[in-house]
Structure 1
Amino acid sequence: MTSTPDPRHTLGPTTDPTEAAPARAVRRRHVFYIPGYDPIHPRRYRELYRKEGPEQARISGYEIALEGRQGGDVYGWQVTGRIEGAEVAARVDVLIWSDIVRASMGHGIAATYLQLLRTAWEYIATGALFRLMRLRKGPVIAALYPVGFLLLQLALALGLGWVLGAGVTAAGQGLGLGRAAALPGLVAGAALAVTVLRWFKARDGRLFAYYLMHDYAFSARYRGANPPALEERMAQFRAQIAQALCQDSDEVLVVGHSSGAHLAVSILADLIRAGEVPEDGPQLSFLSLGQVVPMVSFLPRASRLRADLAYLSTRPELYWLDVTAPGDGCAFALCDPVAVTGVAPEGQIHPLVLSAAFTQTLSPERWAALKRRFFRLHFQYLCAFDRPGDYDYFRITAGPQTLAARFAGRAPSQSRITRAVNRYRSTA
């Protein structure tokens, strides 16, 4: 179900948190990038920025340059942008939790299938799966893909094992072994089944079945609550952002992609609750990209996330822009994460929900090349568009306007979904 813009979501004079002070020009920006559930070293994000930034600059007629940063405890890079007649220096830090992701993925084949049963049961028994389908079918299909494909792998492995086992047994009986022929048949069949399963697992870098299964199981294991190791890491991230807010940047921009978006919600809510946003400090901005918040907020024990969503949606200390695209089958496109979770308070002013409109901002040729590459499209928000519209990741991260100034006066997408469909709405 979709709805048209309403006054709560139109950032006008009475609701825009940036109206309290004149828009400032940005000369120095500190960007914190929070990845989604990703076990790979964060250099992939640096190389993506290095490749896509200059390409977008070439298309859009500005300049952008990246330099690696040596030493220090935080992985990141420096960016210089010459955009819209101004030069901007940006520091980009990646807030790393890939070690926690890798630890959660350290399971064998049998343990992964046990995860499959537990995760499927969690989403089905709680009714979350069916309610999520009322929002967007794409991310639900993406969630069902690892379940279906892993079961298909298991069926194929068992089927081939049974055929070989039956053949070996029949051959043994033909040699006069009688019932004793069943044992070598069983061993041969089991060995082939295990070999087939291992073959599939070794190729999961292209199939993504195990990877996605671990991703969904990570949230389902604690029924929507954060595991202790992640909560500890999020507290460290909050401290890093708080420190940046006491330095001389003009804007501190937090970017949360995919699962990183809901981590950012809780981190920023904690930051503001603790009074760590100085009144005379940098503009605090939050950009959520390709968010999958409902996959977590619809689970029974996600009360912490639901409370943080409700709290953050009313706070004037920051500006929150949420960008998704219907062409991204892995995201809950144009779903207001606060409203669909069922915790939208009366005074909600965030987020502004906009579409990256892949079918319009990518040429027909580029769209045709990408539209079936579902996981690549989930990262398109961080890449160049050959027919760019208002959304431009590189202007946002290296341009001279704050996020609030760049999107001032914009109404939300008319196709955004605000209907509350979540069964679990406790914020206790």
Structure 2
Amino acid sequence: MGEPSSNEIRTRRVFYIPGYDPIHPRRYRELYRTESKAQGEISDYTLALTPKTTDGPYGWQITNQIDKIETKTDVEVLVWSDIVRVSMDQGILATYGLLIRTAWTYISTGALFRLMRLRKGPVIAALYPVVFLLIQLQLALLAGYGLFRLIGMAAPWWAGIAGFVIVPLLLRWFKARDNKFFAYYLMHDYAYSASTRGSNPPELEARIAEFVDHIGQALDSDVDEVLVIGHSSGAHLAVSVLSDLLRAEKARPDGPVLSFLSLGQVVPMVSFLPEAKRLRMDLNYLSQQQRVFWLDVTAPGDGCAFALCDPVHVTGIAPKDKRWPIVISAAFTQTLSPARWKELRWRFFRLHFQYLCAFDRPKDYDYFQITAGPKSLKDRFGRRKPSKSRIETPVNTFTEMG
């Protein structure tokens, strides 16, 4: 994997690619502000956040001084939330149609059963919206039938109308409270990739090209490090973005250090689909490149991620000269105190974002020192051995690339 560099990082550009998220990117700034403050109090350092003053994607600036070295970082969120919102703009009937098509895609291709051989947690997370939406439908139908039977003897005409009306009303009631259930949200998340059987829709390919151009401009500047972060579904987008950057030779040898941090990745949910040829090609390509340093961080405690699954190996397209990623664990049960772990253990959605948050018993993984400290990702983890419990068994049968 090469020897770690020893250059101090004084200036850095960070490009954060979120997962399937319809919410405005300001939420990531607020999360960074509050959690960096908490981590600083625990680890004895201070980060100063200021608003972004330049044009371009939403972001913020950070000034940090650790070990008497001042580092200035510009963070930008590469937004595709508008694409997410359009894909989620579906009615109730349309969502149930997506449920059927998505389930059929994963079952008929065998992808679901192969994914279960890796980690059951993310598969259960994928099945949750299917099961919960069906439960909602069943409850609505039972309520309609019960109302029909209740008033049917006295007013059969009105009973039929009441039974017919109560079903859509209850379904709308459930949908209006999806910010608590996340059934519709997760259903649209999994359906987005399944609808094309793993290939990128045209609007997503166009957005990837925009990301490539934007990061390419940073690689042509005089900053010390360009750090690309892909979280959840954003990890597989980052793989394609970085692959396109390197193919276009936008990362010049004398330019900034190029780093890639994938967090809580769900790459197999897409790469195991039959038409994910572009993603498989990019995984294969990126895993061989010397110009980038790629660290993959997951945790078995995150039930939504394919924890410690090497996304290149398990997809079945690892080349002989594979270099990346280095797969390590954030080890939530060790880096969070027993009290904090007890508090978060069953908050699955919150745990999926823990990589971006403070740890009250931190080890070597510290999101805020990685993004704002004086060391590059390679300096921090270049000598780090991959997790012994990582999964590298190739279980995917769709390995065509192109």
- For 2:80 and 2:313, locate their aligned partners in 1 and report how far apart those are by CA, in whole Å: 28
Count residues in correspondence.
402
Q: Does 1:39 align with 2:22?
A: yes
Counterpart for residue 204 of structure 1: 178
Q: Does 1:169 align with 2:143?
A: no
Q: Does 1:93 align with 2:76?
A: yes
Question: TM-score, normalization: structure 2?
Answer: 0.99
The offset of 1:168, in angstroms, is 2.8
Counterpart for residue 404 of structure 1: 378
Counterpart for residue 250 of structure 1: 224
Q: Which runs of 5+ in 1 are unaligned?
A: 1-14, 173-180
Which amino acid counterpart does residue 400 of structure 1 have in structure 2? P
Counterpart for residue 231 of structure 1: 205
Counterpart for residue 147 of structure 1: 130
Counterpart for residue 175 of structure 1: none
Query: Cα deviations across residues 321-377 of structure 1 (Å, max 9, x unaligned)?
Result: 000000000000000000000000000000000000000000000000000000000
Matched position secondary structure for 1:66: strand
Matched position secondary structure for 1:254: strand
- For 1:219 and 1:408, locate their aligned partners in 2 and report how far apart those are by CA, in whole Å: 33
Contact map agreement 1:84 1:399 (CA 8 A) in 2: no
Q: Does 1:327 align with 2:301?
A: yes
Which amino acid counterpart does residue 167 of structure 2 have in structure 1? A
Query: Cα deviations across residues 295-340 of structure 1 (Å, max 9, x unaligned)?
Result: 0000000010000000000000100000000000000000000000
| Structure (1 or 2) with the larger CA radius of gyration | 1
The offset of 1:408, in angstroms, is 2.0
The offset of 1:167, in angstroms, is 2.5
Counterpart for residue 422 of structure 1: 396
Which amino acid counterpart does residue 388 of structure 1 have in structure 2? P
Contact map agreement 1:37 1:260 (CA 8 A) in 2: yes
The offset of 1:186, in angstroms, is 2.2
Counterpart for residue 373 of structure 1: 347
Query: Cα deviations across residues 203-236 of structure 1 (Å, max 9, x unaligned)?
Result: 0001000000000000100000111001000100
Q: Does 1:79 align with 2:62?
A: yes
- For 1:372 and 1:409, locate their aligned partners in 2 and report how far apart those are by CA, in whole Å: 34
Counterpart for residue 321 of structure 2: 347
Query: Cα deviations across residues 129-150 of structure 1 (Å, max 9, x unaligned)?
Result: 0100000000000000000000
- For 1:265 and 1:65, locate their aligned partners in 2 and report how far apart those are by CA, in whole Å: 30
- For 2:87 and 2:272, locate their aligned partners in 1 and report how far apart those are by CA, in whole Å: 21
Identity across matched positions, percent: 63
Q: Which runs of 5+ in 2 are unaligned?
A: none
Question: TM-score, normalization: structure 1?
Answer: 0.93
Contact map agreement 1:54 1:65 (CA 8 A) in 2: no
- For 1:267 and 1:107, locate their aligned partners in 2 and report how far apart those are by CA, in whole Å: 28
Counterpart for residue 10 of structure 1: none
Closer/same/farther in 2, CA of residues 71 and 401 from structure 1, 3 Å limit: closer
Counterpart for residue 393 of structure 1: 367
Contact map agreement 1:40 1:98 (CA 8 A) in 2: yes
Of residues 110, 124, 135, the one that matches 1:127 is: 110
The offset of 1:80, in angstroms, is 0.8
Counterpart for residue 102 of structure 1: 85
- For 2:379 and 2:393, locate their aligned partners in 1 and report how far apart those are by CA, in whole Å: 28
Q: Which has the higher contact order (CA 8 A, sep 6+)?
A: 1
Query: Cα deviations across residues 168-193 of structure 1 (Å, max 9, x unaligned)?
Result: 32212xxxxxxxx3x43222111111
Which amino acid counterpart does residue 352 of structure 1 have in structure 2? I
Matched position secondary structure for 2:7: coil
- Counterparts of 1:246-325 in structure 2 under 5 Å? 246-325=220-299
- For 2:261 and 2:253, locate their aligned partners in 1 and report how far apart those are by CA, in whole Å: 21
The offset of 1:70, in angstroms, is 4.4
Matched position secondary structure for 2:153: helix
- For 1:84 and 1:231, locate their aligned partners in 2 and report how far apart those are by CA, in whole Å: 42
Query: Cα deviations across residues 15-71 of structure 1 (Å, max 9, x unaligned)?
Result: 32x56xx43110000000000000000000000000000111111111211111246
- For 1:76 and 1:50, locate their aligned partners in 2 and report how far apart those are by CA, in whole Å: 12
Matched position secondary structure for 1:171: coil
Which amino acid counterpart does residue 6 of structure 2 have in structure 1? A
Contact map agreement 1:62 1:84 (CA 8 A) in 2: no
